[in-house]
Structure 1
Amino acid sequence: MADPTRAARPPGPARSALHRLRGVARRATDHPRVAALTCRLAPRSVRTRTTLAACASVAVVLLVASAAVVLLVRANLERSAEADAREQAEVVARLATEGRLNALLPLDHGTDFVQVVDAGGRVVAASQNLAGRPAPTRDGDSAHDLLRGGDHQSVTTITAATPTGPVTVHVGASMRTADAAEDVTTAALAVLGGVLVPTVGALTWRATGRALRPVEAIRAEVAAIGDRDLHRRVPDPRSDDEIARLAGTMNAMLARLEAAGTRQRRFIADASHELRSPLAVLRTQLEVALAHPDPRVRSDLVAGALEDTERLQALAADLLLLARLDSAGRTRPQEPVDLAELVRHTATARGVQPHPVTVHAPAAATVAGNPLWLGRLLTNLLDNAQRHARTAVTVRLDTEPASGAAVLEVTNDGVPIEPDDREKIFERFARLDDARSRDDGGAGLGLPIARDIATLHGGTLTVVDTPGATTFRLRLPATPTPPAGG
């Protein structure tokens, strides 16, 4: 038995030619020039793509709707013609059954011919236009083809019983009206489509252009804004839509960039100032020590230079820590840390000078974080508290019952901070008037570093109202409970 699969395959030469054609088509498609031409011909503008999509959609919908309308009109007219022909055929069949059939039959409205043929194939009655025409043969063309005379007609055939035997009634209905209606409807829909599609394209092009005009204005303004022009803003459309919200978002982003640039420039200026002052003093001390002949004075000058060097070292360490905190971004440390033990260890290591530190903490309070950074946060808070306290510093650690968050309060009995200054003290290099001396005040980085560490750990650091004292409140979220079986 022959293999049907093999028999269905083309012969060898044809198969080879087919493979060659496929290879040529594949190479033509993969050719760089063809690919480049395809990319160039593809519309890149949103306006063009939207207009083409709208025109194509309207054209498809109009084509489907037009085909449906033409088919419905055609079907209704054909159904009407067939109904007229059947009604005429039933009337003639009734006359034949009653024996009142005349040789010449009148035509009703909508019918083209009538012919009655007996069982022997003899025409017993016909309409005037078929008088003398033979009956259709069974082995030749069909009755429909013989009787329509070249016109598009629908023929209805009915068999009736008469006193002399059965007869067959042929009634033809012309489809000229249906054809004319179909042609007119098709032409009208074609004209409608030819007008509607360009109209939709023009309206879409205009509407899309007006809608995208603010976007282009925003793009042009953003492209023109440089690193020195962050004060500029994109135009804000007078509307309440997506483009207006985009403009608002862009302006908010530009405002944040401007604020970040301002903070960066101020930070650089403040850091330069903080570094310049001790460097100038250090250089002066070294120059005097080098030129002074008295060894005791020289020793005092070198000791002062060493203090300024330590100050510079501490400032450089703070700046490096700030850079690390900024680069850490939103990545939260996840190492479990016993905050209660860290508080007790940090307070004990400081001793009682210049003021004693009293700690009230539970047995354990675990948070997720970096123990080195949290230790630095506590150190900065205690440094600030001991610097401004009169007699004592109190540290209290509690846990919120509802959320489980750890709340740490560091209180000193010094002069309270005014409400207007409670956010200012967290700015970098910001120091209040009573803390500006090089002996009493720091560089103005301790509290900003503490807040940055708290923020990095998902917490907050604020100043709260305390009668006759100053309290810094640190709130850190609780450590998430690991899933069962994890």
Structure 2
Amino acid sequence: MRPRSLRLRLTLVVTLAVGLALTVASFVLVNSMSNTLFGDMADAAARQVDKVADAVEHGQPLPPEDPSAATMIRVEDQDGKLVTSVPQTGAKAAADRPVPAERTRAAGSAGAEPKPPAEDFEIVPARTVTTPQGEVRTIRAISRSGQITQSIDLVVNSLLVAAPVLTIFVGWLTWFAVDRALRPIEAVRRRAEAISHSTLDERLPEQDTGDEVGRLTRTLNRMLDRIASGARRQREFVSDASHELRTPLAAMRAELEVSLAHRDSADWRNVATRLLDDHRRLERLTGDLLTLARLDEAAVSRRAEPVRLDELVAGETSAVRHAEVRASLVPVRVTGVVPELVRLVRNLLDNADKHAAGVVAVSLRVDGGSAVFAVEDDGPGVPPDQRERVFDRFHRVDGSRDRASGGVGLGLALVRRITRSHGGEVTATASPTLGGARFEVRLPLN
């Protein structure tokens, strides 16, 4: 049991709340019971005083004794001596007992609420009247309150025992219930503590309970799936990037070693030209890798602004040098990051230029709430089973792409990543007019 444990805190809070609630409820119950019982006794005594006072005032016989009443009526003269009483017998000792002045109610105070008695007998309402003979009589009620006091004491004693017992029971029940509820969470915690970067394939134990713990476990397992998938992609990316970077470096080193071994006969101008080509390829590869890393970073600051996509596309068509460009553009405005959109358009045009037999078609239109940018060529196209994989990093379609053509398999991966970062999507299909590949990008309009 840890002082900072959730189990202990919940148990203490519930136990204290129940104890406080029972204390307040007990106080209200005893107070209400006392007021009700003593109030009823006072009301009954006041009614009896009124009956006797009316009879004495009009010279009538005193009313008969009420068998259900627990009150005796004293009729006293001006000196406080007993003249008669109702009932005539029974509580005679109480009737003869001197009446303390501080416990006597003032005349005419019938119906006032009495204070709880400290003795078995309580002086309650009194009334002073004048008889037909001119004599002054005080009619006073004395009620037996012992049974009421005993009943209240019994309730108080019962509550003094029941309230602590019930509070302790609720505390134990809360501890047991919270312990049972937290056991699955503790099991999940221990299992999660054992999962590391080398054991990301492990999953947390799921319980088909349908409650919050089960939903939390499923959510955490889905999070682990995403983490494992991201870590796997990261390892693959690092491995592929290392391989791609090693190739031009190895070629450059081999070129230099051969030239140095035959330094007298080496054509150093051609060597420098080839090294420069390898350097450009290496520079482009590292630039693409850096761009992908920035796009994958969710916290990167990206300044989006309104862009005339038709003007941007028209400015990049001049990059197509080995094929005829057929452009069909309409004015379209989107919101995006200009350098990223330039890279998207340039990569698609460069890809089509490398694989086209002689014609590249570029179109830009509006379809509903989207701008549709398409690039088609008359080359060999992309096989149907490769149309999704061409967007993977470092993927090349057999027979249509190789390192000799200058591609490293990052251009289309960048296209998809940029498109999705702008809220759009890119697909690869067959060109219905040219017969080669068709890459279509859909972006939301501004």
Give the TM-score of the pair, scaled to structure 2: 0.86
Pairwise CA distance, 1:159: 4.0
Instruction: Determine if contact 1:330/1:456 at 8 Å carries over to the other structure.
Output: no
Match of 1:389 in 2: 356
Q: Report the residue type matching 1:187 in the other structure.
A: N
| Pairs within 5 Å for 1:106-255 | 108-118=67-77, 121-126=80-85, 128-129=92-93, 140-143=101-104, 150-151=119-120, 153-165=122-134, 166-255=136-225
Aligned to 1:355: 323
The offset of 1:116, in angstroms, is: 0.8
1:434 aligned onto 2:389? no
Partner of 2:10: 50
Q: Structure 1 residue 399 and structure 2 residue 363: aligned?
A: no
Contact kept in structure 1, 2:373 and 2:441, CA below 8 Å: yes
Judging changes above 3 Å, is the alpha-carbon distance between structure 1 residues 141 and 199 closer, same or farther for their aligned structure 2 residues?
closer
> 8 Å contact 1:84–1:173 — kept in the other structure?
no
Aligned-partner SS, 1:453: helix
1:310: how far off? 2.1
Q: Percent identity?
A: 38
Deviations 1:370-408 (A, max 9, x none): 2222111111011111222223111111124x43x3221
Paired position in structure 2 for 1:259: 229
Partner of residue 463, structure 1: 428
Over aligned residue pairs, what C-alpha RMSD do you find?
2.9
5+ long unaligned stretches in structure 1: 1-41, 480-486
Summarize deviations over 1:17-75 as a string: whole Å, max 9, x none: xxxxxxxxxxxxxxxxxxxxxxxxx9421111111111111112212221222122212
Bigger RCO of structures 1 and 2 (CA < 8 A, at least 6 apart):
2
* Alignment partner of 1:285 is 2:218: no
Do the aligned partners of 1:332 and 1:456 also contact (CA within 8 Å) in 2?
no
Task: Answer whether contact 1:290 1:298 (CA < 8 A) is retained.
Answer: no
Q: Name the CA distance, whole Å, in 1 between partners of 2:44 and 2:158.
A: 28
Find the aligned partners of 1:201 and 1:81 in 2 and give their Cα distance.
41
5+ long unaligned stretches in structure 2 = 107-116
Q: Deviations over 1:237-280 (max 9, x none)?
A: 22112211211111111111111111111111111111222222
Counterpart of 1:269 (choices 220, 239, 250) is: 239
CA distance in 2, matches of 1:366, 1:346: 16
Tell me the equivalent position of 2:21.
61
CA contact (8 A) 2:380 2:400 kept: no
**Conservation of the 8 A alpha-carbon contact between 1:332 and 1:457:** no
Structure 1: distance between partners of 2:97 and 2:261: 145
Contact 2:206 2:214 in 1 (8 A): yes
Which moves more between the two structures, 118-127 or 278-287?
Answer: 118-127
Report how far residue 129 of structure 1 moved.
2.1
Cα offsets for 1:412-451 (capped at 9, x unmatched):
2233433432221111111121245221361000011112
8 Å CA contact 2:294, 2:300 repeated in 1: no
Q: 1:380 to 1:134 in 2, by over 3 A?
A: closer
Contact persistence 2:126–2:140 (CA under 8 A): yes
With over 3 angstroms needed to count, the CA separation of the structure-2 counterparts of 1:302 and 1:133, relative to structure 1, is closer
Offset from partner CA, 1:4-28 (integer Å, 9 cap, x none) = xxxxxxxxxxxxxxxxxxxxxxxxx
Q: TM-score, normalised by structure 1?
A: 0.80
Alignment match, 1:7 = none
Q: 1:118 to 1:149 in 2, by over 3 A?
A: farther
In the alignment of these two chains, the number of paired residues is: 428
SS of alignment partner, residue 196 of structure 2: coil
2:39 — aligned with what? 79
Of the structure 1 ranges 436-445 and 257-266, higher mean CA displacement relative to structure 2 is found in 436-445
Stretch deviating more after TM superposition (288-297 or 228-237) = 288-297
Secondary structure of 1:141's counterpart equals: helix
Aligned twin of 2:109: none
- Report the alpha carbon displacement of residue 101 of structure 1 after superposing the two structures with TM: 5.0
> Which secondary structure does the structure 2 equivalent of 1:458 belong to?
coil
- 1:289 deviates by 1.5
Q: What is residue 305 of structure 1 aligned with on the other side?
A: 275
Native 8 Å contact 2:377 2:431 kept in 1: no
> Is the 1:461–1:475 contact (alpha carbons within 8 Å) kept by the matching residues of 2?
yes
For residues 131 and 172 of structure 1, do their structure 2 counterparts lie closer, same or farther at Cα, with a shift above 3 Å needed? closer
Task: Quote the offset at 1:191 in angstroms.
Answer: 1.7
Change (3 A) 1:461 1:86: same
Separation in structure 1 between the aligned mates of residue 102 and residue 167 of structure 2, nearest angstrom:
47
Q: In the alignment, residue 93 of structure 2 is paired with which amino acid?
A: N
Task: Give distance in 2, aligned partners of 1:135 and 1:245.
Answer: 76
Q: 385-394 or 197-206, which moves further after superposition?
A: 385-394
- Candidates 429, 434, 451, aligned match of 2:416: 451
One-letter amino acid matched to 1:358? R
Tell me the CA shift for residue 366 of structure 1: 2.4
Distance 1:220 1:51 in 2: 23
Q: Distance in 2 between matches of 1:300 and 1:163?
A: 150
SS in 1 for 2:102: coil
Rounded Cα–Cα distance in structure 2 between residues aligned with 1:196 and 1:303: 93
The 1:182–1:292 alpha-carbon spacing in structure 2 relative to 1, beyond 3 Å, is same
Change (3 A) 1:149 1:292: closer
1:44 partner amino acid: R
